[in-house]
Structure 1
Amino acid sequence: MPNHVHVLLSLGNQTTDVDNFFLTDDALSFSYQPLSEVMRRIKGASARDINLYLDRRGTFWQKDSYDHYVRDAKAFENILYYILYNPVKAGLVTEWREYPFTYYA
């Protein structure tokens, strides 16, 4: 989208080890990164790169973001559908697969 980004990600892999056993509280507090920190890093790195590309300075992203927690398979499906069809709804393409910035294959 030209003026915003949709990201669907899971932080659940931070709570288990390589064998899918839940981490202890000590290990979890060491390794877990909250969503706010993940978003801060994504926004910071992408803003820097985009500003360099556009040869500009200053704030790129809005301070806040809209977070929605996925609680079940149906919610996941609805959110994924919304993200994929957002460029279609905006009139940028006629089919979601035509949108060049869709990572989902």
Structure 2
Amino acid sequence: MNQIENTVIQLLSLLKQYNNGQIYHQIDILKEILDVINSNESDESKKERVKGLIDNLYPVRGGLTDFHIWNEDEKERIKVNKSLSELNDKLWYLSKN
């Protein structure tokens, strides 16, 4: 759970910084994941709830994989979107293992 928590914290920080007003739902889901991880629920319950919440971040259309950060500076835009993509991939991978 620690790796998921760390990844969610990093992703949440990035999304809050570059929120264009279209990803409030995903930000709320990430906050809820942190709430579940830090709750008093059993580890098995936490694992199931977190997995379901992560699945909700990546629907067929309109999820975090469809979100891209725009920045006038091309190098910065590439760097930030690469970080976003890596964090998304890591969170998805961690939720499946």
> With structure 2 as the length reference, what TM-score do the two structures score?
0.27
> With structure 1 as the length reference, what TM-score do the two structures score?
0.26
* Structure that is richer in helix per residue: 2
* Higher relative contact order, structure no. (Cα contacts within 8 Å, ≥ 6 residues apart): 2
